[in-house]
Structure 1
Amino acid sequence: MLRVATVGGAHGLRGELRLAVHTDDPENRLARGAVLQTEPPAVGPLTIAAVSHRQNHWYVRFDGVADRTAAEGLRGVVLLAEPVDDEEEDAWYPHELAGLRAESPDGAHLGAVEGIRHLPAQDVLVLREVTGERTLIPFVRAIVPTVDLPGGRVVIDAPPGLLAGTEPEAGR
């Protein structure tokens, strides 16, 4: 299951809630009538009764949540949905990347991918190097030219100094 949004605070008196959206497709994932699983599971599933997008924020009402008190009880709940089979090239879900073996272009074992972090400038892979150090690898084609899900690996062509134990070239 993929994290779609996290429920924030109540908005108004009729059970509307503000969401922190984690999906790049909120129009479809948060459509009226969508049924979302929850974390913790005992709270859900929740069905979206109404949705609106105002001033760069998403707001929802759920079936059975009719007032502010009931809405406040959902604060912090994570909304989950099944992955969508996309045929988009160069698009991976975080759970698909976690656990992949990291190799250099010549096949040397560098470590394992622990996950991905979405930073303001760009996404980075979290690499647990064979030395045990944790390194953030810019997730760009120049540094990560190959993501081979069926083969269970990523190729990392790291510039000098990025990985533990490597030094940048003199004069740079």
Structure 2
Amino acid sequence: MTPAHPWRPEWVRVGTVGRAHGLDGSFRVADPCGWWPFAPGSAVHVDGAARTVAAAKGDELAPAIALEGARDRTAAEGLRGAALEIGRDDLPEPGPGAYFRFDLVGCLLAWPDGRELGVVEAVEDGVAHDLLVVGDQRVPFVAAIVPTVDIPGRRMTLDAGYDPVAVE
């Protein structure tokens, strides 16, 4: 079966098993992504093994969860440091104008007249906004500079007046 989003990585990390939280098998999620809810009944892979979230506390920025089959503190401590991942086809779709960074990587960045700046290699944190890395260029990822983003088409269009030399 062809995945709905073949450009995405097969597994996407949504957090890491942190320290145990209480005696019931719950643990804190370290480095949560902030957009995955860890809702009871949801599927998550722990070091590659499919598990189900049995209980959840906290919020998306500081969740504590318990997994089915890991119902005491010792079991939770045994998972510490394990990656929490979801499959690419289980990802929620970002809202309008929002993008996963890994969806932007690999897109061609070009002007409306067809001239190509290159392919996005990475997305970096900037002071005010994200920066698209294309070779040695850093392109501010804002609508005024990159007005069109076509993730399924793997293409982004630069504003016709954008001059990367003038930005440096």
Give your verdict on TM over 0.5.
yes
The aligned residue for residue 13 of structure 1 is 23
Preserved CA contact (<8 Å) 2:20 2:27: yes
Aligned partners of 1:102, 1:139: CA distance in 2, in Å?
11
Task: Choose from 96, 105, 109 the match for 1:98.
Answer: 105
Distance of 2:128 and 2:81 partners within structure 1: 26
**1:75 and 1:136, CA in 2 relative to 1: closer, same or farther beyond 3 A?**
farther
Normalised by the length of structure 2, the TM-score is 0.73
Q: TM-score, normalised by structure 1?
A: 0.71
Counterparts in 2 of 1:143-154, with a 5 A limit? 143-154=145-156
> SS at the partner of 2:16?
strand
Instruction: Tell me the residue number matched to 1:109.
Output: 116
Letter in 2 for 1:76: G
- 2:56 corresponds to 1:35: no
Larger Rg: 1
| Counterpart secondary structure, 2:58 | strand
- Deviating runs (4+, > 6 A) in structure 1? none
Greater fraction strand: 1
The SS at the match of 2:74 is helix
Q: Distance in 2 between matches of 1:148 and 1:111?
A: 15
In the TM superposition, residue 48 of structure 1 has moved relative to its aligned partner by 1.0
1:61 Cα deviation after fit:
0.9
Say yes or no: does 1:68 pair with 2:73: yes
> Helix, strand or coil for the counterpart of 1:57?
coil
Distance 2:63 2:100 in 1: 22
Asked if 1:24 corresponds to 2:29, the answer is no
Contact 2:122 2:134 in 1 (8 A): no
Give 5+ residue unaligned stretches, structure 2.
1-10
Q: Give, in whole Å, the separation in 2 of the partners of 1:150 and 1:122.
A: 23
Long gaps (5+) in structure 1: none
Count of equivalent residues: 152
Q: Please say if residues 3 and 23 of structure 1, whose CA atoms lie closer than 8 Å, have aligned partners that are also in contact.
A: no
Q: Measured at CA, do residues 152 and 168 of structure 1 come closer, stay the same or move farther in structure 2, by a change above 3 Å?
A: closer
Map of 2:144 onto structure 1: 142
Letter in 2 for 1:22: C
Q: Aligned letter for 1:78?
A: A
